[in-house]
Amino acid sequence: METKDLLRQNPVFDYMDDRELDSLLGIALTRQYHKGQYLTHAGDAWPYIFFLIKGSVSAVKESSEGRSFVATSFKSGEVFWGVSFFHPELTMPVALKVDLQSSVLLWSREQILPAILENGHVSWELSRLMVSRMLRASEILEELAFQPVAGRLAKLLIDFPGGITTGPIARSLTLDEMAARIGSTREMVCRLLQRFADDDLIKITRTEFEITDRERLTEMMQKVRG
């Protein structure tokens, strides 16, 4: 799919005509990133909006002790921004780290602000997107506060790409990456996976896993702390 068609599928840009989209693409910076590279680090002033053409990028909170937490991930066709795009004095609260080889369009505040100010639909959809991101952040905080680690891991397994199908699924995430997504540690994830296997909820090897009791795993996901 051409980049312009991909832009059209995002509500932020879908009201733009061909001329406006061509103009937007003409001023964009196109960047290629490999897995493990960063678009920006926490603490950086990063006044950009980005559009992910292909790949996967995660917003990661990293501690000085080397632990990390994946706040959210972005896939092809999604839009995100640095907070200093809207507030120049603010810096990034998270790092943007590449999960898979990615192609990204970048617009600086100076480049795209005229188009935003001229197009009320773009402003409206960006505002709606901000609200949805805020609601997702609230859900994440609720999960961390009230859902046990076992429940968060159960949710990760159920939501895993390919998890709705029967049969084995490739383990594309390392233990560290799984821990980062549920706000835990590698050791805890390892213990819980073994417990799930012992309880016949899953079958797991070094390269793949299979959900064998989705109903019980879902019940575990829905439990909250007492």
Q: Are 144 and 151 in contact (CB under 8 A)?
A: no
Distance CA 63, CA 68 (A): 6
Q: What is the pLDDT of residues 94-121, one digit of tens each?
A: 999 999 999 999 999 999 999 999 999 9
The confidence score (pLDDT) of residue 162 equals 61
pTM comes to: 0.80
Q: Report how far Cα 70 is from the mean position of its chain's Cα atoms.
A: 7
Query: DSSP for 128-165?
Result: HHHHHHHHHHHHHHHHHHHS-HHHHHHHHHHHSTTTTS
Q: What is the pLDDT of residues 141-180, one digit of tens each?
A: 888 888 899 999 999 998 887 656 677 888 888 899 999 9
Q: Which two tokens stand for residue 127?
A: 């505002």
pLDDT (average), residues 175-192: 92
Q: pLDDT-based confidence at 224, cuts 50/70/90? A: low
Name all domains of the chain by residue range, CATH numbers in brackets.
Answer: 3-139 (2.60.120.10), 147-222 (1.10.10.10)
